[in-house]
Structures are given as structure tokens and as C-alpha cells.
Amino acid sequence: MGASGYGDLSALNTCRTILDSAGRDSLVSVLAEFRHLYQAAVAVYETNGDYALSLDATGSAWCELLAARSRLRCHTDDDRAALASGRWTCHENCWNGASRECVRAGAAIDYPCAGGRFIHAIPIRACGELVGTILFCYGATPTAPDDVARVAATFDVAVEELFRLPPVAAPEPQLIAAAKRHLGTIVRLIGELVERRLIAREAERHGELLRGIIAHDLRSPLAAIRGSAELLQLGAADPKRAAARILSSSERMRLMIEQLLDLTRIKIGGGISLVRERLDLAALAAQIVDETLGARPGAAIRLSAPTSCPIDCDRERMGQVLANLLVNAAVHGAPGCPIDVSVARRDGGAVLRVHNEGNPIPEALMPTLFDPFKRGERVSRSSPGIGLGLYIVRWLVEAHDGTIDVRSSPAAGTSFSVWIPDSPPSLPP
């Protein structure tokens, strides 16, 4: 593989998360020592199965022969066509197969390869996500006649040719254990390299978004404040109306800044920390509804809740979830129609539901509804926020180990349902 006669399969890599983040030279540097120390072939795959790097074992005639014959079975000089042929046993059934199974399991595995040996695969993670796998081949080559015959038939090799090859002896168990531990260290190193690159990219993208928001979204309320202040200074404005406009615009700016700070904490600051406590969700909902009515005197909100609904959650952040959903309902709901809020017990937790009448959410917006910087089609520049409210809501709900669901239709209106478990799941020992 890799440096073999058929060239470098990384040229076909369409994912390139590991390859571009860690860099080929860095991967070769950290893996060459491992290959030399344990005399083992080693490979790295992206999470989608694309090949990032492979270094062949030194001195393994068995593996070299099977790799070469496996490639010849494809009957093409084009690597892309060879991969699509389904006959590249060494690559697809052994290495890539082990990588796919490792991704599926989300944990280290030992995978029997078609050549009679084993492949140990470990997942690589960065920023909390599985981004690929790293693998090495180990174990003795088969010597039993039936096992050798099976390998010969799989790779279109004469049985006699395999028996003429020097066998690979089974390594000591302590050596295999040491190799697995060593590979685990390399996995963490590659994961750190990928994570640094991903964070740097996100920070760069985040900075571009911030510059755009400052240049556009914050300019409108700032201009309204300045204009009202200038009119007051000239004595050409009704003081109460001007003050109300200044307060409204400053509240819009405050909400934008709060959302940007939350986005920064989520994207490049390690997340928003939660302080869980036992509280009454029904009482918290009543408080947030009352605060929303105070900020929106013309709104109508109906609350349906039990006498009490104890739950383990972060008081401030769960209040923020409901407040954001209420703002969303007020902006998108039909004018003059009430917003309905309900709290109930369900499935070992609590459900918080916000419903509004009005035009349904367009089907085309549903897949990206919770993405950052997404606005509804009918939202004007005077609307509060910058398209982060629902993104932050989902993040906070999932941080509570909960779920959020949205249903929208012309007949039933729009409902957001948040489910929070009564207590967070216990961590594994």
C-alpha cells in the first residue's frame, strides 16, 4: 500500500480532514518510527474511508505478495477504477474493512484480515468528533494447509508459492500490547494536530462572521440610538418616544452581543459550562413568561403547567432556552394570536413546549433551521438577534442531554418541544 507499485492512494482522498490538518510529512514522521520499531505495516484512514497514509511493513514477504496480487486482481492500472471493482481485497476487505468497522464501533477493535493475520484499529478523535482511524497489522501468518489454501484462493495465488515464503512468527503478547499502547499515543498526537487545525479554521471563520455582523447587524440599532439622541438634543423629539426607541435598540444590541458571546464560547471556547441544580421548571417557566410579557407589553402568552415540575438543570441556561423560543414565536407567529407555553412530565424527564399560530416554517428551511446565522424568510432587519437563537437553544438542550423537536404545518401552527431528562446519564467508570 501507499508507496507500493500502484502509487499513493491519498491522491483520491476527498475528505482530507486528517491529511490536510496533520500533513503528510507529520504523519510519515510519527508512523515511520512505529513501523521500524514493530516491523508492522501501519495505515491512516479518514472517517469516510478515504485513504490518508500507509507505510508497508519492512521485510514481510507474505504481506508484500498478497498486496501485489490483490492489486493485480483488479485488472486495471487506474486506482479509482480498482477501488470500485470490488476485487482489491487487501485494501477494501482488510484495511478499509477494519477502518469501517472501527468507525462503526467507535472504539478500538481487532479485525481478522483476509491474509490470515489481524489488524488492530483505533479511532482518531478531534473536537469531540471521530475523524478517522489508525491501524497496524500483526500476528503470525497461517501455516495449516486449509488456512493457507483459503488465503491462496482469496488472492489468486498458488498454494505452493505461499508455502515457499518465510513464515511470520507470532510476536510475544507483551510486544503486541506495547504496540497497541504506542499506537494509542500516536492517535492522541494526530488528534491534537487535527484539532488545532480545525480550531484555527473555525476561529478564522468566526472572525469573518463577527466582522460582518459588526459591519451590518449592529449598525442599524446603533444608528437608531444615535438618531434618537440627536433629536432629543435638538428638542425635536417626543422624549418618551425617543427614550423608548433608545431602550428598544439598546436591547437589540444587548441580545446580539450576548448571542455572539455564547457563539464564541461554543465554537472556540470549549463550550458553555452548566451549573445544574434541582429546580421547579414550572416556576421557572412562569418567571420567563412574566419577564417576556414585561419586555413585550403587546404580547399574549398562555402558560399551562403543573403545580410543580422538579428537574435537574441549569437555571440560567434553561431560562435562556425558553426566552429564545418565546422571542422566536413572537417574531414568526401570527400578529394578535397568543403564544402557548406548556410544561409536563414525560419519559423520565420534563417537556417544555412553545407553540404559535401563523405561517408554517418552509420545508426548505427545516434541514438548516438550527444552524448558526440562519434567519426566517420573513424576518426584517428590525427583528432582534442575528440568527443565533435557535442554534444556541439546540446546543443548550443537547448540553443538558436533552432533545429538541419542531413541527410546523398550516393547520397546526409551529411547535418547538424540548425534552430534558430528570438527571444526566451517569458517566462510565
Is 210 within a domain? no
How many domains does the structure of the chain reveal? Answer: 3
Residues 174 and 41 both lie in one domain: yes
Residue at 138 is within a domain: yes
> Which pLDDT value is given to residue 5?
44
Is position 28 within any domain?
yes
Q: How far apart are CA 421 and CA 403, in angstroms?
A: 9
Instruction: Please give the pLDDT value at position 300.
Output: 92
Does residue 10 have a pLDDT over 80?
yes
Residue 209 lies inside a defined structural domain of this protein: no
Q: Are residues 125 and 166 in the same domain?
A: yes
| Confidence (pLDDT) at 317 | 87
Mean pLDDT of the residues in the chain = 84
Is the pLDDT at 306 greater than 60? The verdict is yes
302 and 226 in one domain? no
282 and 408 share one domain? yes
Q: Are residues 414 and 288 in the same domain?
A: yes
Residues 222 and 181 in one domain: no
Angstrom distance (rounded) from CA 318 to CA 301: 18
Predicted pLDDT at 379: 46
Give the tens place of pLDDT for each residue, 357-369: 999 999 988 988 8
The pLDDT tens digits for 177-196 are 999 999 999 999 999 888 88
Q: Are residues 298 and 324 in the same domain?
A: yes
User: Looking at the structure, do residues 154 and 288 belong to the same domain, yes or no?
Assistant: no
Domain boundary among 233, 253, 271: 271
356 assigned to some structural domain: yes
**Domain enclosing residue 365, as ranges:** 276-429
Same domain, 260 and 343: no
Most confident region among 255-264, 379-388, 410-419 by mean pLDDT? 410-419
Alpha carbon distance 328, 110 (integer Å)? 49
Residue 102 sits in the same domain as residue 33: yes
Answer whether residue 2 shows pLDDT above 50: no
Q: What is the pLDDT of residues 248-265, one digit of tens each?
A: 677 667 766 776 676 666
Please tell me the predicted confidence (pLDDT) of residue 248.
Answer: 66
Which of 252, 271, 290 is the endpoint of a domain? 271
> Does the pLDDT of residue 323 top 70, yes or no?
yes
395 and 292 co-located in one domain = yes
| Residue 206, in any domain of the structure | no
**What residue spans of 239-314 are helical by DSSP H?**
239-268, 281-295
The per-residue pLDDT for 427 is 42
- What sign does the CA torsion over 218, 222, 223, 225 have? positive
- Cell numbers for 206: 468566526
Contact 358, 332 (CB under 8 A): yes
Domain final residue pick, 271, 298, 313:
271
Tell me if 175 is assigned to some domain. Answer: yes
What residue ranges in 113-195 does DSSP mark as E strands?
A: 118-126, 129-138
Q: Average pLDDT for residues 128-134, to the nearest whole number?
A: 92
Beta-bridged to residue 356, according to DSSP, are: 414
Read off the CATH number of the domain in which 107 is found: 3.30.450
Q: What is the CATH number of the domain that holds 388?
A: 3.30.565.10
Query: For residue 4, is it within any domain?
Result: no
* Rounded distance between C-alpha atoms, residue 15 and residue 45, angstroms: 10
Q: Is the dihedral of CA 277, 406, 294, 227 positive or negative?
A: positive
Contact by Cβ (8 Å): 206, 388: no
Q: 292 and 349 share a domain?
A: yes
